[in-house]
Amino acid sequence: MAEKDRIDLEWKILDRAVARLRAGVLAVVFGMSAACALFGATVWLLIRDSNTIGPHLNLLGNFFPGYAVTWPGAFIGFGYAFLTGAVIAWCIAWIYNVLIHLRHKRKSGRKNVLPGGE
C-alpha cells in the first residue's frame, strides 16, 4: 500500500508541475516572432540592394496574396506571418492542453469535460 501512496503523491506533484498552455499568449508570441522574422528578411533583402532581390522569398507570394519583396510587401507579409504563426501556435497549445487533460483524466479517474468547456 505504501508503494501506491508514493505513486499517487508523485502524480499529484507532476500534475502541479505540468501547466496548461495559454493559447492566446502563445499565439501572440509566435505570431510576433514569425512576423518580425519575415519583415526582417524582406527588409534585409531590400537594404542589401542587389540585382536579384530574393527570388526564393518572392515565392511566398503564392501563399500570401499581395506579398512581394518590396517595402509595401514587407508590411503585408508582416500581417500574413503574424496570422499564420498565431494560428499554428494556438493549434499547438490547444492540442497540448487536450492531451494533458486526457492524461490527467485517465490518471485521476475523473469525468471532466475537455478544456474550454469547463
pLDDT digits (tens, 9 = 90+) for 30-85: 999 999 999 999 999 999 877 788 889 999 999 999 999 999 999 999 999 999 99
C-alpha cell at 103: 492524461
Closest by CA to 39, choosing from 92, 85, 75, 12, is: 75
Cα–Cα distance for residue pair 30/32, rounded to 1 Å = 6
CA atoms within 13 A on the CB side of 6: 3
- Residue 117 has a pLDDT of 47
Cα–Cα distance for residue pair 44/13, rounded to 1 Å = 48
- Residue 9 has a pLDDT of 80
Report the share of the chain in percent with pLDDT over 70: 87
Entry pTM: 0.77
C-alpha cell at 15: 500534475
Q: For residue 1, is pLDDT > 70? A: no
- Interacting residues of 54 by C-beta distance below 8 A, sequence separation 6+: 41, 42, 45, 69
Report the share of the chain in percent with pLDDT over 90: 58
Average pLDDT, the chain: 86
Is residue 74 within 8 Å of 46, Cβ to Cβ? yes
